[in-house]
């Protein structure tokens, strides 16, 4: 499909980049292995969106899906990839659609400021966690009205000090990744309350810590 580009030149670093010409129909990116499948919104346009290859080494299918009606999507274009990561944690060190930042992101600058003089990743992680908890206030109105497909802006969360769980988790993930600490952004249902929620796990001293 000439309108779709899937850039798989950085699979060893744990991500793939996709772009698709804008049209009238909604688009989704589907990243899957035999064990697990993730769907992401794919904005149409000239810019690339970045998606993690977070299921480890092995065979992946990466597909661009186009809306047929409601929640029904059909295959627009796809590729098969064999992924061999440079390290199992690298997918959790780079920006992607949910955890987006670059060198100019104010949150990255804040992380550097807070971590100045510290060498222990555990100390940095605890400091950043405490900062996010103290800095942020939960926005109940936003939680009630947030639209499907919402993506957090970490700099907006940093500036306003308000947000929903997705904003909290993205803010912490960007701060930690900016300091070279692998951090997962997790999204799912928390029991027994059956709440849809976002949270983090962090790779510290050789293990993933909630």
Residue scoring higher pLDDT (128 or 2)? 128
Band the pLDDT of 190: cuts 50, 70, 90: confident
pLDDT over 90 (residue 198): yes
Residue scoring higher pLDDT (2 or 83)? 83
pLDDT over 90 (residue 2): no
Q: Rounded mean pLDDT of the chain? A: 96
Instruction: Summarize pLDDT for 64-86 with one digit per residue, the tens.
Output: 999 999 989 999 999 999 999 99
Verdict on whether the full-model pTM lies above 0.75:
yes
Distance between CA atoms of residues 154 and 133, nearest Å: 14
pLDDT at position 149, please?
A: 87
The arithmetic mean of pLDDT across residues 33-46, rounded, is: 95
Instruction: Summarize pLDDT for 159-187 with one digit per residue, the tens.
Output: 999 999 999 999 999 999 999 999 999 99
The arithmetic mean of pLDDT across residues 102-128, rounded, is: 97
Which residue pairs, CB below 8 angstroms and at least 24 apart, start in 196-199? 197/165, 198/164, 198/165, 198/166, 198/168, 198/169, 198/170, 199/165, 199/169
pLDDT at position 46, please?
A: 92
Band the pLDDT of 210: cuts 50, 70, 90: very high
**Burial class of residue 158 (count of CB atoms within 10 Å of its CB; 0-12, 13-18, 19+):** buried
pLDDT at position 193, please?
A: 85
Residue scoring higher pLDDT (106 or 188)? 106
Band the pLDDT of 114: cuts 50, 70, 90: very high
pLDDT over 90 (residue 13): yes
User: Distances from the Cα of 184 to the Cαs of 50, 78, 203, in angstroms?
Assistant: 15, 26, 8
The arithmetic mean of pLDDT across residues 3-23, rounded, is: 96
Band the pLDDT of 10: cuts 50, 70, 90: very high
User: In the chain, what percentage of residues exceed pLDDT 90?
Assistant: 92
């Amino acid at each position: 499909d000439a309108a779709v580009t899937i850039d798989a030149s950085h699979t060893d670093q744990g991500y793939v980049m996709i772009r698709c010409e804008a049209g009238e129909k909604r688009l989704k990116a589907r990243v899957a292995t035999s064990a697990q499948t993730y769907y992401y919104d794919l904005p149409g346009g000239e810019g690339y969106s970045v998606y993690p290859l977070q299921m480890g080494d092995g065979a992946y299918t990466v597909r661009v899906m186009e809306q047929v009606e409601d929640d029904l999507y059909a295959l627009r274009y796809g590729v098969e990839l064999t992924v061999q990561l440079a390290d199992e944690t690298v997918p959790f060190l780079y920006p992607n659609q949910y955890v987006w930042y670059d060198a100019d992101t104010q949150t990255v600058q804040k992380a550097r400021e807070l971590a100045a003089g510290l060498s222990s990743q555990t100390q940095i992680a605890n400091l950043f966690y405490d900062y996010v908890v103290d800095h942020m206030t939960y926005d109940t109105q936003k939680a009630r009205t947030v639209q499907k497909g919402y993506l957090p802006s970490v700099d907006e969360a940093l500036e306003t000090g308000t947000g929903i769980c997705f904003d909290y988790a993205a803010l912490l993930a960007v701060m930690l990744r900016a300091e070279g600490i692998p951090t997962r952004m997790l999204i799912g249902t928390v029991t027994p309350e059956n709440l849809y929620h976002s949270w983090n796990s962090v790779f510290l001293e050789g293990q993933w810590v909630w």
